[in-house]
Structure 1
Amino acid sequence: MTPLAEIIDNCAYLDDWQDRMSYVIELGRKLPDMPQALRTSDNKVQGCASQVWLVTHANDDDSDPILTFEGESDAHIVRGLVAIVLSIFSGRPASDIVKTDALDLFTRMGLIEYLTAQRANGLRSMIKRIKDEAAQKLVG
Structure 2
Amino acid sequence: MSANPFGRSISAEDIVDTLGFFDSWEDRYKYIIDLGKELPAMPDELKTEDRLIRGCQSQVWLETEQQGETFEFQADSDAFIVKGLLGVILAAYNNKAADDILAFDIEQYFEQLDLLRHLSPTRGNGLRAMVQRIREIAGEPA
| TM-score where L is the length of structure 2 | 0.88
Tell me if structure 2 keeps the 8 A contact 1:47–1:121: yes
Q: Give, as a single letter, the amino acid of the residue that structure 2 aligns with 1:4.
A: A
Residue of structure 2 in register with 1:84 after alignment: 88
Matched position secondary structure for 1:135: coil
2: CA distance between counterparts of 1:57 and 1:15?
37
Measured in 2, the distance between the counterparts of 1:98 and 1:3 equals 17
Mapped contact 1:20–1:111 kept (Cα < 8 A): no
Give me the whole-angstrom Cα distance separating, in 1, the residues matched to 2:33 and 2:26.
11
Counterpart check, 1:95 vs 2:99: yes
SS of equivalent to 2:63: strand
Residue 125 (structure 2) aligned to one of 121, 127, 132: 121
Matched, 1:43 2:48: no
Q: Distance in 1 between matches of 2:77 and 2:120?
A: 16
Partner Cα distance (1:115, 1:99) in 2: 25
Runs of 4 or more above 3 Å deviation? none
Distance across 2 between alignment mates of 1:26 and 1:106: 18
Q: Percent of counterpart pairs with the same letter?
A: 38
Give the TM-score normalised by the residue count of structure 1.
0.90
- Counterpart of 1:130 in structure 2 is 134
How many residue pairs align between the two structures? 133
Uncovered stretches (5+) of structure 2, i.e. residues with no partner? 1-5
Alignment-derived partner of residue 18 in structure 1: 26
Q: CA deviation at 1:26?
A: 0.7
Q: What CA distance in whole angstroms lies between the structure 2 residues aligned with 1:35 and 1:70? A: 10
Which shows bigger deviation, 98-107 or 47-56?
98-107
- Contact 1:73 / 1:79 at 8 angstroms: preserved in 2? yes
> Which of 111, 116, 136 is the aligned partner of 1:112?
116
Q: Which amino acid counterpart does residue 123 of structure 1 have in structure 2?
A: L
Instruction: Name the amino acid aligned to 2:38.
Output: K
> Unpaired runs of 5+ in structure 1?
none
Shift of 1:98: 1.0
Question: What is the rounded CA distance, in whole Å, between the counterparts of 2:113 and 2:41 in structure 1?
Answer: 25
